[in-house]
Chain A
């Protein structure tokens, strides 16, 4: 395989470092990144594209992208579907946005400043930005958008948990006051397009589920059952997109998508089964992009169910799983084993590997915990996902240590119900797009966390997480999360398995596209193959 076909992005370290630098910069001087005159992506990632389009070049051509999912709706504040965000990524903007390295960059806000007590954040907004309906973007739109999420108790309301008030100091200044220091604020308000800025009053004036009034490089077109087209917005603040339009097609079957890519019917797809990666990379005319992601897969044991309330029993399962085998079988190697949540490239990574595969040790722990051979364990997975293959490997791994796994495949709606009601022995699941540890550790392992379905409770950890959530010194914060990681993984609140790769493929000669660890797809600087 030609090395150029794979772009292994080693970016997460930069992600987190970038965050820390930005925060440090915001503390005092005026280093607030003045990049008003150029599209953010062009200046941020000089090495990103082989042939970046000239910003002044006239838009040309339509990119055809096949996505494997189908968007449910297009209200950025209401949807939680990744397929919706693949489209919305190109339509809406947030105050700040992670770049390809995960570093938070100015977007609709050009700079920001934190008060000494960490409780007041002041955002200076970009001037000369217009929404797709032609209206000017001002501070009132930010206040409206954020308050809509909070007041209507929308899916992302929890991201404002520590926000006391959002106010407009003037037309281009927004002040966010907090009840406690929140170093993860940038990730909370700009981590993804679920925090998009919409025009004041938009929810009452347009049907946001089907129409979009954003500030992004493309406008949402008419909805269709088989796909949707977005067209370049010429007044985009970052300069017009390098292509006229992007046509998203919904193609659920991978063979169909890949055949369409081979025949030139489409230019880009994310519908690539892991087993096809190697073969596809060898084909001429197709470029395969593989990047480590910031997602993780894990197993959680229900601590309200015996014997999994015992740490030893959970640790035994952690020793009993052969992670490399799981990765090889379920992901065809397109993943990296990990015993903690955070991938190696991240600033937040903590090297902690207490559970290398060891059936003997596992059996000893089970004996110590009084768990007999033949102990049943129901493992709940969502049907038709990569989790099913992984569960089959785990089933055979755990059979070796005398645990009798029954795989329970459920449709996602039932899976979510059972998880919420605590009606499971164990489940397997993934957590996507992780930028700041606050987001996932707090939800999943804090005693009162919103997704602590396994029922982990540890006062020491609660204390660490509370401290880390409010710690503004980034190194001190990392040290706290390192300790937290050792408790979480060590006591097997979660048994982490691996970080999957992001895999996408596109036609050879497609320029200006960059695969990203957070799976966001940006087409504004893309140029079509000749």
Chain B
């Protein structure tokens, strides 16, 4: 087991190095100059050149890369060019809002997906199944910005039940934190929930057809117990994988939902970094996103082994 984890960590390091080179290269090769962006249209050529030099952008790309990665290894992600603030500080500032939204959204997604997917699998081609299929299709098709705006107009505007946007820290005011979280979490959670509903449905259907389920039924086990012990446990395996990816996606920021609800998350920050060609900030953010995906995938795989003993034995034996 520990050997497996070690191997995975080693792989993760290699992936991270690859990601760092890739993001660095892409950022520096796409058109767009951070200095021109910062200067706007009014600076002179002399100012432009002086600022370029100060920012170290005149060094060869390889030198710039090793400067950056060398500092990153010591935990120093550099200073954001646009804001003049340390990248790590800017990222940390947005972690609480991002984690709040991601966790709440994944809870919403699971609350939608598990019941809806299970019921529709148990009653294939029934009204419930039809409803699940249509609603998950709708959940995927409705643009999140439109859904978010509708929520705002109805629940904040007309009904006045919820604040229209913004973020309040959990430690500052738990009630307001929750009130501000509801609409963005549902908006972000619906799309993930729709994706997950289909997975739950198909994996429950698949599990229902398995021999051991038939055997359990044949020996007279109660339908609910069959569902709980034999169907859902098996069906949850793929859900863990897909749900993990969904969580990682939510953790790396849901730009549109963040913009609509004025939610100060990582997605908005990354978008602004792209627009402003804020190299160090975007590189830091993308590295973080890569780490999130790697960690979530690792946890998913470990969880997999936990949920399905066959996987553990197989790997231990290989």
In chain A, positions 214-236 with a C-beta closer than 8 Å to chain B are: 223-227
Assuming the contacts A255-B153, A259-B153, asked whether A224 and B32 have C-beta atoms less than 8 A apart, the reply is: no
Contacts of A72 in B (CB 8 A): 38, 82-83, 276
Partner of A412 from the list B82, B97, B261, B275 (CB cut-off 8 Å) is: B275
In chain B, positions 142-170 with a C-beta closer than 8 Å to chain A are: 145, 149, 152-153, 156-157, 160, 163-167
Q: Tell me, yes or no, whether A285 is within 8 Å of chain B by CB.
A: no
In chain B, positions 237-290 with a C-beta closer than 8 Å to chain A are: 259-264, 268-269, 272, 274-277
Determine whether the beta carbon of A209 is less than 8 Å from that of B85: yes
Determine whether the beta carbon of B33 is less than 8 Å from that of A251: no
Contacts of B47 in A (CB 8 A): 153-155, 157-158
CB-CB nearest in chain A for B155: A259
Rounded to whole angstroms, the CA-CA distance of A252 and B263 in the bound complex is 10
Partner of A253 from the list B38, B51, B84, B165 (CB cut-off 8 Å) is: B165
**Binary per-residue interface labels of chain B (39-54) against chain A in the complex, 1 for a CB within 8 Å, 0 otherwise:** 1111111110011000
Contacts of A70 in B (CB 8 A): 272
In chain B, positions 6-60 with a C-beta closer than 8 Å to chain A are: 30-34, 36-47, 50-51
Assuming the contacts A224-B93, A413-B36, asked whether A251 and B165 have C-beta atoms less than 8 A apart, the reply is: yes
Contacts of A263 in B (CB 8 A): 156-157, 160, 164
Contacts of B261 in A (CB 8 A): 253, 256
Rounded to whole angstroms, the CA-CA distance of A514 and B265 in the bound complex is 33
Rounded to whole angstroms, the CA-CA distance of A437 and B289 in the bound complex is 48
Q: Tell me, yes or no, whether A55 is within 8 Å of chain B by CB.
A: no
Determine whether the beta carbon of A413 is less than 8 Å from that of B262: no
Q: Tell me, yes or no, whether B230 is within 8 Å of chain A by CB.
A: no
Q: Tell me, yes or no, whether A458 is within 8 Å of chain B by CB.
A: no
Contacts of B264 in A (CB 8 A): 224-226, 250
Rounded to whole angstroms, the CA-CA distance of A75 and B51 in the bound complex is 15
Contacts of A158 in B (CB 8 A): 42-44, 47
Assuming the contacts A80-B40, A250-B264, A412-B275, asked whether A153 and B93 have C-beta atoms less than 8 A apart, the reply is: no
Q: Tell me, yes or no, whether B94 is within 8 Å of chain A by CB.
A: yes
Partner of B33 from the list A80, A156, A207, A416 (CB cut-off 8 Å) is: A416
Contacts of B277 in A (CB 8 A): 413
Determine whether the beta carbon of B50 is less than 8 Å from that of A73: no
Determine whether the beta carbon of A450 is less than 8 Å from that of B93: no
Instruction: For the complex formed, measure the closest distance between the CB of A451 and the CB atoms of chain B, giving whole angstroms.
Output: 6
CB-CB nearest in chain B for A70: B272
Q: Tell me, yes or no, whether A516 is within 8 Å of chain B by CB.
A: no
Determine whether the beta carbon of A255 is less than 8 Å from that of B149: yes
Contacts of A8 in B (CB 8 A): none
Determine whether the beta carbon of B36 is less than 8 Å from that of A417: yes
Q: Tell me, yes or no, whether A429 is within 8 Å of chain B by CB.
A: yes
Contacts of A226 in B (CB 8 A): 97, 166-167, 262-264
Determine whether the beta carbon of B97 is less than 8 Å from that of A209: no
Q: Tell me, yes or no, whether A353 is within 8 Å of chain B by CB.
A: no
CB-CB nearest in chain A for B51: A153
Q: Tell me, yes or no, whether A78 is within 8 Å of chain B by CB.
A: yes
CB-CB nearest in chain A for B33: A417
Assuming the contacts A70-B272, A157-B47, asked whether A418 and B31 have C-beta atoms less than 8 A apart, the reply is: yes
CB-CB nearest in chain A for B97: A225
Determine whether the beta carbon of B164 is less than 8 Å from that of A155: no
Rounded to whole angstroms, the CA-CA distance of A420 and B34 in the bound complex is 13
Q: Identify which of B51, B152, B164, B261 gathers the most chain A CB atoms within 10 Å of its CB.
A: B164
Instruction: For the complex formed, measure the closest distance between the CB of A383 and the CB atoms of chain B, giving whole angstroms.
Output: 10
Contacts of A25 in B (CB 8 A): none
Determine whether the beta carbon of A413 is less than 8 Å from that of B275: yes
Q: Tell me, yes or no, whether A133 is within 8 Å of chain B by CB.
A: no
Rounded to whole angstroms, the CA-CA distance of A256 and B163 in the bound complex is 10
Instruction: For the complex formed, measure the closest distance between the CB of A259 and the CB atoms of chain B, giving whole angstroms.
Output: 4
Contacts of A429 in B (CB 8 A): 41
**Binary per-residue interface labels of chain A (191-230) against chain B in the complex, 1 for a CB within 8 Å, 0 otherwise:** 0000000000000000111100000000000011111000
Q: Tell me, yes or no, whether A260 is within 8 Å of chain B by CB.
A: yes
Rounded to whole angstroms, the CA-CA distance of A252 and B84 in the bound complex is 22
Instruction: For the complex formed, measure the closest distance between the CB of A267 and the CB atoms of chain B, giving whole angstroms.
Output: 14
Partner of A155 from the list B39, B166, B262, B274 (CB cut-off 8 Å) is: B39
Contacts of A417 in B (CB 8 A): 31-33, 36
Q: Identify which of A255, A256, A417 gathers the most chain B CB atoms within 10 Å of its CB.
A: A256
CB-CB nearest in chain B for A154: B47
Determine whether the beta carbon of A450 is less than 8 Å from that of B83: no
Q: Identify which of B31, B160, B269, B276 gathers the most chain A CB atoms within 10 Å of its CB.
A: B31
Determine whether the beta carbon of A256 is less than 8 Å from that of B83: no
Instruction: For the complex formed, measure the closest distance between the CB of B166 and the CB atoms of chain A, giving whole angstroms.
Output: 6
Q: Identify which of A227, A259, A411, A443 gathers the most chain B CB atoms within 10 Å of its CB.
A: A259
Instruction: For the complex formed, measure the closest distance between the CB of B94 and the CB atoms of chain A, giving whole angstroms.
Output: 5
Instruction: For the complex formed, measure the closest distance between the CB of A433 and the CB atoms of chain B, giving whole angstroms.
Output: 10
Contacts of A420 in B (CB 8 A): 33, 36
Assuming the contacts A155-B43, A225-B93, A443-B42, asked whether A256 and B32 have C-beta atoms less than 8 A apart, the reply is: no
Query: 13 extra interchain contacts, Cβ-Cβ under 8 A, other than A263-B160, A451-B42?
Result: A80-B40, A157-B43, A225-B167, A226-B263, A249-B262, A251-B166, A256-B149, A256-B164, A259-B156, A411-B32, A413-B275, A431-B41, A450-B43
Listed by A's residue number, 22 A-B pairs whose Cβ atoms lie within 8 Å are A80-B40, A152-B50, A154-B47, A156-B42, A157-B47, A209-B83, A209-B85, A224-B93, A225-B93, A226-B262, A227-B166, A251-B262, A253-B165, A253-B259, A256-B260, A256-B261, A257-B262, A260-B163, A263-B160, A265-B166, A416-B36, A451-B41
Instruction: Point out residues on A near B: beta carbons under 8 Å.
Output: 66, 70, 72-73, 75, 78, 80, 152-158, 207-210, 223-227, 249-253, 255-257, 259-260, 262-263, 265, 411-414, 416-420, 429, 431, 443, 450-451
Lowest 5 A-B CB distances belong to which pairs? A209-B84, A413-B32, A225-B264, A153-B50, A226-B264
